[in-house]
Amino acid sequence: MSGRTPIGVELVRRGIVKERDIQVALEYQKQHPNKKLGDILNILNLCPQKQLITAMGEILQEKVIILTPDDMKIHENKYIPLEMCRACKAVLFEVIGRRAKVCFADTSNHQSVEEVKRALAKHGLMMEKFLTFETNIENVIKSMLQKEEATITSVPDITKLVDTIIRSAIEKRASDIHIEPLQNSIRVRFRIDGELITVANLEKEKQVQLIGRLKAISNMHQERQDAQDGTINLYGNYNIRVASQRTVEGEKFCLRLLKKNEGVKSIFDLGFPSTEGTLKKCFDKRNSITIIAAPTGQGKTTTLYSILDYLNRPEINITTVEDPVEIRVPGINQIEIDGKESFASALRSMLRNDPDIILLGEIRDLETAEVAIQAGQTGHYVLSTIHTINAIEVITRLRKMGISDYDISSTLATAVSQRLIRRVCPNCSIKREFSRDEKEMMNRIAGRYHMKFDFENKFTYDTKGCKECNHTGYLERIAAFEVLELTDEIKDLIVSGASSLKIREMAFEQGYRPLVIDAFQKVLDGVTTMEEVNKRLALY
């Protein structure tokens, strides 16, 4: 602001932008309420960057700079921790004598400015404040992060290099490590809370030695270049499953990090939205099948084991058939199939061992589906997974496999669909009120299902980033659920051959709610953000 004049009005008055440019920027701001007008004008390239930042400096009476990684005249983390840079959107770029030059994306954020000022004062430094665009701050911090991860690339010994990569992944809570040969380098990426993050690019010359070391510690054949599977058991509490795949640039490796003896979480801790009474109604059954539907990597197996944990009692015989067994649970009989056996054949063998509850890793084909249906029809309770987009489409998927409408309606009891969404980091997130546009969007979408959200005393969060969350603003994940209970009316529709649209209409009448409603409720509860829900469910 200059006095009481909005910065957009002042930029138009000075001829820096036109009124239509401001309107375009304001429309963009509706979808990105955390972005400031000056940053949006820069992102949309609506006027020259230097001209814009100079004018903003004059209006706000601040010193300005177009900050780039080349402007860094000091070791980045010497006085301000990296997590503080992320949280305050600030970068110390030069120290002259006792004067420290610091760039801010928002100089009006007095809390952030004072926090950085106090940190510098501890080192006897006085702060000289500058304004720059948020994208410039982000680019410099990204460069800083790359330097922080350079310790991986600096390890000369291959044995130590592989060890450093794996230990770094464990420290950062990664679920997977991807080691990928490119044309001129080897890219190392970690999957953390569902997001792939590049942590290093290694010299291409290390490829042969790197592959040799990975094959050696995972008990793979050194000379074979076709796809192989192996296991690494050198890291205490971790069982690391390794898969190799030949590509045009060489062999790619994916390492899945599975923590041994990790306790099974309560289904309510996973985000299941209903009460224990509803849980019992949905899952404590016999003579039926419950199917969890979701794409790969969305936590279906974790949910299945949470249901088993809820049902597990000494008088019940629970047996699982999996490929592979990912979670080992005391008191449950777990069968891991190998390449010579199918789910269907293992399930037939299992049925001769008097199980009460059966966990079947996945229904992949007609044969497996038929055996699972038969098991459900003969007194067993079967839990399994299937790949489809939502709970209602489980019925369509079984139909396309060749299962009759009668068998589906008589055996399928509950279909559940889920998506994993990241939780806001409790250590660095900033509480704020919902914007008007956020409220309108959520209620517009909820209105399709005859619902409306109450925003009174409800708050959302802006993500910032800190060391605890690997500078992402999010820490761990929770699931958004939708649950379809097959009532008598829905079973009648299935038997009559009704379309999934008709089934969906009936389900809505009986209280079924889609994933997006549960996801929005988790936004209202302060668990996640609208940006994260949009990213996972593609709302806008």
Q: What angle do CA 538, 187, 259 make, to 5 degrees?
A: 75
Q: Is residue 182 part of a domain?
A: yes
Does 147 score more than 70 pLDDT? no
The rounded distance, in Å, linking the Cα atoms of 465 and 471 is 4
* pLDDT single digits (tens) 407-465: 999 999 999 999 999 999 988 888 899 989 899 999 999 998 888 999 999 999 988 77
Whether residues 298 and 228 share a domain: the answer is no
CATH number at residue 422: 3.40.50.300
Q: Is residue 377 part of a domain?
A: yes
Whether residues 206 and 285 share a domain: the answer is no
472 and 529 in contact (C-beta within 8 Å)?
no
Nearest partner of 303 among 317, 314, 290, 313, judged by Cα:
290
How many Å is the maximal CA-CA distance in the chain?
Answer: 84
The rounded distance, in Å, linking the Cα atoms of 51 and 229 is 57
Report pLDDT for 1: 39
531 and 519 in contact (C-beta within 8 Å)?
no
Whether residues 441 and 350 share a domain: the answer is yes
pLDDT-based confidence at residue 172 (cuts at 50, 70, 90): confident
DSSP 425: P
Whether residues 472 and 339 share a domain: the answer is yes
Helix segments in 271-356, DSSP class H: 276-283, 300-311, 343-351
SS3 430: strand
Nearest partner of 384 among 422, 348, 413, judged by Cα:
413
The rounded distance, in Å, linking the Cα atoms of 51 and 135 is 16
The rounded distance, in Å, linking the Cα atoms of 179 and 243 is 11
Q: What angle do CA 262, 527, 40 make, to 5 degrees?
A: 125
Q: Is residue 265 part of a domain?
A: no
Whether residues 439 and 311 share a domain: the answer is yes
SS3 141: helix
Q: What angle do CA 117, 118, 122 make, to 5 degrees?
A: 115
List all residues 6 or more positions away from 398 whose beta carbon is below 8 Å from its beta carbon. Answer: 369, 386, 408, 412
Beta strand 90-96 with 99-104 is antiparallel
Tokens of 352: 């001769």
SS3 82: helix
pLDDT-based confidence at residue 155 (cuts at 50, 70, 90): confident
Whether residues 160 and 285 share a domain: the answer is no
* pLDDT single digits (tens) 368-401: 999 999 999 988 999 999 999 999 999 999 999 9
Q: Is residue 209 part of a domain?
A: yes
Whether residues 51 and 162 share a domain: the answer is no
Instruction: Say whether the peptide bond before residue 156 is cis (omega within 30 degrees of 0).
Output: no
Whether residues 411 and 463 share a domain: the answer is yes
Q: Is residue 72 part of a domain?
A: no
Helix segments in 149-272, DSSP class H: 150-153, 158-171, 207-217
Tokens of 540: 């806008």
Place of tokens 């008007």: 436
Whether residues 229 and 339 share a domain: the answer is no
The rounded distance, in Å, linking the Cα atoms of 335 and 33 is 51
Q: Side chain identity at 127, as an amino acid letter? A: M
The rounded distance, in Å, linking the Cα atoms of 192 and 197 is 7
Does 261 score more than 50 pLDDT? yes
What's the average model confidence in pLDDT over 469-493? 92
Nearest partner of 187 among 217, 218, 149, 219, judged by Cα:
149
Of 18, 37, 61, which residue sits at a domain end? 61
Which residue range is the domain that position 165 belongs to?
149-259
DSSP 3-state helix, strand, coil percentages of the chain (rounded to 5)? 40, 25, 35
Whether residues 217 and 312 share a domain: the answer is no
Within 10 angstroms of residue 91's Cβ, the number of other Cβ atoms is 30
Q: Is residue 100 part of a domain?
A: no
Helix (H) or strand (E) run with residue 7 in it: helix 7-13
Chain mean position to CA 236:
26
Whether residues 354 and 404 share a domain: the answer is yes
398 and 369 in contact (C-beta within 8 Å)?
yes
Q: What is the percentage of the chain residues whose pLDDT exceeds 90?
A: 57
Domain count across the chain = 3
Beta strand 250-259 with 238-247 is antiparallel
Report pLDDT for 77: 56
Report pLDDT for 90: 92
Of 61, 78, 93, which residue sits at a domain end? 61
The rounded distance, in Å, linking the Cα atoms of 139 and 147 is 13
Tokens of 255: 């390492």
* pLDDT single digits (tens) 116-128: 998 898 888 999 9
Instruction: Say whether the peptide bond before residue 324 is cis (omega within 30 degrees of 0).
Output: yes
pLDDT-based confidence at residue 494 (cuts at 50, 70, 90): very high
Q: Is residue 69 part of a domain?
A: no
The rounded distance, in Å, linking the Cα atoms of 426 and 533 is 18
Of 229, 259, 289, which residue sits at a domain end? 259
Does 2 score more than 50 pLDDT? no
Q: Is residue 122 part of a domain?
A: no
Pairwise pLDDT comparison (251 vs 3), residue with the higher score: 251
Whether residues 291 and 240 share a domain: the answer is no
3-state secondary structure 490-540: HHHHHHCCCCHHHHHHHHHHCCCCCHHHHHHHHHHCCCCCHHHHHHHHCCC
Radius of gyration of the chain (CA): 28
Half-sphere exposure of 325 (CA within 13 A, CB side): 17
